[in-house]
Chain A
Amino acid sequence: MRPIRNSTFSLNLMYVPALLLFALFIYYPFFEGIKVSFTNWDGFNPTYSWVGFDNYARMLEDKNIGTVIRNTLIYGVGSTLFQNLIGLLYALLLNQSIRTRGLTRTIVYLPVIVSPLIMGYIWYFFFQYRGGALNDIILLFADKPVNLLADPQINIFIITFVNTFQYLGIAMVIYLAGLQSISKDYYEAASIDGASSLTKFFNVTLPLLAPSITINIVLNLIGGLKLFDVIIALTKGGPGFASQSLSTMMYKTYFGAQDAGYAAAMGNLMFFMIAIISIAALIYFRRKEIQA
């Protein structure tokens, strides 16, 4: 048996290149980031000093961080909510045998293929102040155009909408696959019992879709919480910090304010926030799956 054992161990060499890449570009920077967050490094100078937890304490006092964390959560939770609700409705509609379903699926899915940055620009033409397509309609009823992208109450929801629109197709396709894997026998049995279509939906469809729901929710949470490109395309995080997310604020702090220590601390906050929220969601919905 010995020779085979040796050969199996040497076969592990096959994952060494991957391991090396991970160590260099993920694990090393991750620990380095923790180190940098305890310094006042500016990102350029070779000299810096240790400042302990100062960067994290600064975060607590930063008057913008509240807005930024709130926005990040709105982008994450808001997109997740709408992508799942609308995605599921679309899937239910387009799972029926209607002639137009293929074309509609193709169109709904199209933005997934296009870069989020470009989708952001396309929506910019729609929402922009001067000559924007939406304002052309508003002008039919009002005498002044509205600057929606500069309105801090509204632009965060426009960004959430644009992100939802972009990735709705993925949620829809995952739900379609889930629907198609449900055996028709369940529905027949329910019909014999005299169940209405609404009862069938809540007692057959929804519980059996549980795995698709879990995947969609976790996937969309991670996607929304790390949102970057769309914000850059639509508002650049402005006005001021009004539509900034943790990712764009970190970018601004690092390259704009040359405050690498603080930016690294922000990156760590973002990492733990996304990890905790997505793992918690995963565990919560997996449990529900088992109960269902």
Chain B
Amino acid sequence: MKTNHKLSIVLSVLIGLIHILPFYLLITTSFKPMSDLSSKWSLPQTMDWSNFTSAWEGADLGRAFINNTVITVLSLMGIILIGACAAYPLSRFQTKLNKFVYLLFISTLIVPPLTILVPLYQFFIDIHGMNTYWGIVLLHVTFSLPMTIFLYTGFISSIPRELDEAAMMDGMSRFMLFFKMILPLLKPVTATVLIMTGVGIWNDYQFSVFFLQKVEMRTVTVALASFFGPNANRIGWVAAGSLLAALPATMMYLFMQRWFISGLASGSVKG
């Protein structure tokens, strides 16, 4: 039993080392100047920050981070408001109609957005939604709603109906009671929704690369991808850019780990 325990510790350390490896290489690469041709495995001689300034300016990451923040925050607001509202009648009144509507929402969970790219792209040109915040936000909201409605509907069903009835006895309307009584109770599931959909939107590339092609509208991933193309041989720049781009989400994850892991997992477990 004792040796088994030791073996498990050794194995887990080994796994940890293997999985941290790409990040180690990313860090060593981003601190080495162009002239340093040493192996990526070796630590840099000096801490050279020039790659970071080159990447920050070259890919215009400052602007990209602002775009990412605006798009993510607006999308999350829309997702929570529209998602929670939609879930309330769907979980409280399971009429034939509502069951059908619920199915309409949930069935789209298996539709990868890319499969309808061609018509969606054309539709966006028609409604002048290309290169706009509102366009990309509406897309993110729509494609995050199936999971959001699924999570909220499940959670609201677990809130006793007696609460609604008691509030209505007191003369509250259904709408009032939703906003005053139900909405505040949704905090735990809202945290899950925020993290699950937030990570996806912040890291999105598939939508952004198609619908945000103007330079000043680029998000972090799009900016980085277009920076990578012409600078593929300046590996230090690309590494530094990737590190900068990955940093905010990673930091948030490390500080709020519990939330992130349970959030992403519980969402997928129920999905």
Residues on A close to B: CB < 8 A?
A: 7-8, 11-12, 14-15, 17-19, 21-22, 24-26, 28-30, 32-33, 36, 43, 90, 93-94, 96, 98-101, 103-119, 121-123, 125-126, 128, 130-133, 136, 165, 170, 173-174, 177, 212, 215, 219, 222, 225-226, 228-229, 232-233, 247, 250-251, 254, 260, 263-264, 267-268, 270-271, 274-275, 278-279
CB distance from B107 to the nearest CB of A (A): 9
A-facing residues in B124-181 (Cβ within 8 Å):
138-139, 141-143, 145, 149, 173-175, 178
Query: Are B269 and A215 touching (Cβ within 8 A)?
Result: yes
User: Chain A interface mostly helix, strand, loop or mixed?
Assistant: helix
- In angstroms, Cα B250 to Cα A100, docked, is 20
Q: Top 4 nearest A-B pairs by Cβ distance?
A: A115-B203, A226-B112, A32-B119, A15-B86
- Neighbouring A residues of B246 by C-beta, 8 Å: 114-115, 118
Interface residues of B in 168-199 (CB under 8 A from A): 173-175, 178, 199
Question: With A and B bound together, what is the CA distance between A136 and B40 in angstroms?
Answer: 8
Q: Which residues of B contact A (CB under 8 A)?
A: 5, 8-9, 11-13, 15-16, 19-23, 25-26, 29, 37, 39-41, 82-83, 85-86, 88-90, 92-93, 97-98, 101, 104-105, 108, 110-112, 114-123, 138-139, 141-143, 145, 149, 173-175, 178, 199, 202-206, 220-221, 224-225, 228, 233, 235, 238-239, 242, 245-246, 249-250, 252-254, 257, 260-261, 264-265, 268-269, 271
Q: Are B82 and A18 in contact (CB under 8 A)?
A: yes
B117/A21 in contact, CB under 8 A:
no
Cα-based distance from A123 to B238 in the complex (angstroms): 12
Given A43-B122, A104-B19, A229-B205; 8 other pairs, CB 8 A cutoff: A106-B254, A115-B221, A117-B224, A121-B224, A136-B39, A136-B41, A254-B118, A268-B115
CB distance from A13 to the nearest CB of B (A): 8
Interchain nearest-CB distance for A112 vs B (Å)? 6
Q: Is the interface of B mostly helix, strand, loop or mixed?
A: helix
Partner of A113, one of B13, B121, B141, B260: B260
**In the complex, are the beta carbons of B82 and A21 less than 8 A apart?**
yes
Question: Within the complex, what minimum Cβ distance (angstroms) separates A136 from chain B?
Answer: 4
